[in-house]
Amino acid sequence: MTNNNDNQIYVACLASYNSGVLHGEWITPKADKDELQEQINKVLKSSPIEGAEEWAIHDYNDFPNLGEYPGLDNIIKVQEAIDEHGADIVHGFLENWSIEDLDHIGDAYYGHYDDFSSFAENLAHDTIEGLNEDTTLSRYFDYDAFERDLKHDFHEAEGSNGQSIIFNCNW
């Protein structure tokens, strides 16, 4: 799991930005709506422009890019997923699915492997009876064809450590 202090968003004050002044703050979003709103209000209150009310996200650090105006609910949903599963898994999941699908991340996540071939070999040995023994099947099993077929049902994402993160597309 990734250190949550690395998962940050840059909250920018739009009143300052529209006045030609860059004002904002990097925050690790709270997974509670009131607390997150309080974090954003703190940025707006410290603005050099009096009465600042509007904000946008102008940058992301190890947090999935949700655009400039993601809404509090989406930020919270992603932060909750990061807290539970880690940033790499959430990034990998969102490569193939949407924020609305995050409830299924636990159903889809299959694990970390050195590469897709390692995953395919491991899955074959775990699920095909007789493959681990000295049998005709084990001598003639086509691992390459098995791996090629698996690519239709699994999504591979790259983790920050270079490992493959595998997701089952059929959750």
- Give 111-144 pLDDT, tens digit per residue: 999 999 999 999 999 999 888 888 888 888 999 9
Residue 11 backbone dihedrals phi, psi, to 5 degrees: -90, 120
Average pLDDT on 11-29 reads 96
Which among 29, 28, 158 has a CA at the least distance from the CA of 93? Answer: 158
pTM of the model: 0.84
With residue 60 as reference, give the H or E element that holds it.
strand 55-61
Does the pLDDT value for residue 1 go beyond 50?
A: no
Residue 18 CA neighbour count, 13 Å, CB half: 10
pLDDT in tens, 90-111: 999 999 999 999 999 999 999 9
Which among 142, 133, 136, 171 has a CA at the least distance from the CA of 155? Answer: 171
- Specify the fold of 109-168: Arc Repressor Mutant, subunit A (1.10.10)
User: Positive or negative, the Cα torsion across 86, 58, 69, 167?
Assistant: negative
Which among 9, 10, 11, 23 has a CA at the least distance from the CA of 55? Answer: 11
User: What are the structural domain ranges in the chain?
Assistant: 4-85, 109-168
